[in-house]
Amino acid sequence: MNPPSLLPVLLLAASCGLAAAGPADELLKKGDRLDAQFKSTEAMAVFFEAERLDPNNVEILCRLAKTHDEAMVDTPSKEEQKRLAEAALEYARRAAALNPKSAKAQLSMAITCGRLAPYLDSKAKLAHSKLVKEHAEKALALEPSNSYAHHILGAWNYEMASLSPFLRTLVKLVYGSLPAASFEEAESFLQRAVALSPNKVSHRIELGRTYAALNKKDLAREEISKGLSLPDREKDDPNTKLRGKATLAKL
């Protein structure tokens, strides 16, 4: 099970895309400009400055979670990737603790839990997958039109439906029972994500991959092709497109 394959770091953009008014406002704008250029390390340094000015600002903490996750893409070191993922999750936890009613903070929690999962053992991975679902559901309840919350829940269903028999047994221990999950539910959530944000590469390609899992080959080809035709707007779009191409090659 590998949640980040369907939870790319670009999803954190949804939780951190708005500038916040306050003493760190100009720093946030500067960091956002750098982040839009995929300069994650430089943006992170600016957000650190902003945090020193306003340490309890949820917007700043979400941005720090996002840039730590994005920086994982830039290093080949597994140890450093894990350190960055742990730091991202801690920033997300702080944000959610400060404002549990923030959809941005809840979405940040869902994503950072997913990003850390591959560096954990099987039981801990599944425990994190449970947190991914819980926080994504909270984000969706707070903001029903958030396409990324729909995407994450679609991804969760896809991953759960893909589990091996061994992991399904382990899931029962972690969750208490085997949770309801299916490719059909993944399809429904991802269709909604596409309807809400049709120009997001990840929404299109992951819906296409779900169609492929359901043996809806024509729809899979159509949706993945649409995703591949879109310009790269998020840092992880190139990796998402590689997954789409790999799926197309198997159809």
Going residue by residue through the chain (251 aa), what tens digit of pLDDT does each one get? 443 344 444 444 444 544 445 678 899 999 999 999 999 999 999 999 999 999 999 999 999 999 999 999 999 999 999 999 999 999 999 999 999 999 999 999 999 999 999 999 888 888 899 999 999 999 999 999 999 999 999 999 999 999 888 888 888 877 887 788 999 999 999 999 999 999 999 999 999 999 999 999 999 999 999 999 999 998 889 999 999 999 999 99
Q: What stretch of H or E contains 15?
A: none
pLDDT score at 168: 81
pTM for the model stands at: 0.87
User: What is the DSSP annotation of 84-129?
Assistant: HHHHHHHHHHHHHHH-TT-HHHHHHHHHHHHHHGGGS-HHHHHHHH
The Cα 234–Cα 189 span in angstroms is 21
Is the Cβ–Cβ distance between 103 and 137 less than 8 Å?
no
Q: Which residue ranges make up each domain of the chain?
A: 3-250
Cα 108 from chain centre:
8
pLDDT score at 126: 86
Task: Give the chain's length.
Answer: 251
CATH class of 3-250: mainly alpha
The secondary structure of 139-173, three-state, reads HHHHCCCCHHHHHHHHHHHHHHHCCCHHHHHHHHH
Torsion of CA 41, 46, 52, 55, to 10 degrees: -80
Share of the chain residues as helix, strand and coil, in percent rounded to the nearest 5? 75, 0, 25
